Amino acid sequence: MSERRLVLVVEDNEANQMLARAVLEREGYEVEVAGSPTEARGHLSERVPDLILMDVQLPGQDGLSFTRDLKASAATSEIPIVALTAHAMRGDREVAIRAGCIGYIAKPIDTRTFGEQVREFLEPSHREFDVKRSASA
Ligand code: MN
């Protein structure tokens, strides 16, 4: 069996950290949690994750600004990033895509669907679909 895939969750809310970790570990993923961009940089210097879930509102630097930094750096530019946004409004997806995300998951986290949502972003077919969509947007 191949090595378990690693998801880095950048999220400052403790309840969401716990929910995300519980659901993703149950799905068979390895999970690392960072409460801020600074903490996330520490994790990223150790190991490159297969996916980053990025809360938009973070202490210090907001998640979309941090996403732009990661996309601008050769060491992290290839990591797919999915925004976690509390405002599931029209236009949010476009804002997240412009920052370099491949999509977003609306909060509050729904434990019944969250695992599947994350799995879809980790599957290449879905990723290609998203890249195509963003390229034509
Ligand atoms: Mn937050």
DSSP reduced 3-state for 50: coil
Q: pLDDT at position 137, please?
A: 45
Contacts 24+ apart (CB under 8 A), 21-29: 22/111, 23/109, 23/111, 23/114, 23/115, 24/114, 24/115, 24/118, 26/115, 27/115, 27/118, 27/119, 28/4, 29/4, 29/5, 29/118
Q: Which residue has the higher pLDDT, 122 or 101?
A: 101
Band (7; pLDDT cuts 50, 70, 90) = very high
- pLDDT tens digits along 30-58: 999 999 999 999 999 999 999 999 999 99
Q: Is the pLDDT of residue 127 over 60?
A: no
Question: Are 70 and 35 contacting, i.e. CB atoms less than 8 angstroms apart?
Answer: no
Q: pLDDT at position 123, please?
A: 76
From ligand 1's centre to the CA of 65, what distance in Å? 14
Cα distance from N-terminal residue to C-terminal residue, the chain: 38
From ligand 1's centre to the CA of 2, what distance in Å? 33
Residue 97 CA, chain-centre distance (Å), reads 12
- Please state the pTM of the whole predicted model: 0.87
User: Can you list the domains of the chain with their CATH numbers?
Assistant: 6-136 (3.40.50.2300)
Q: pLDDT at position 135, please?
A: 52
From ligand 1's centre to the CA of 121, what distance in Å? 21
Q: Return the CA Rg of the chain.
A: 14
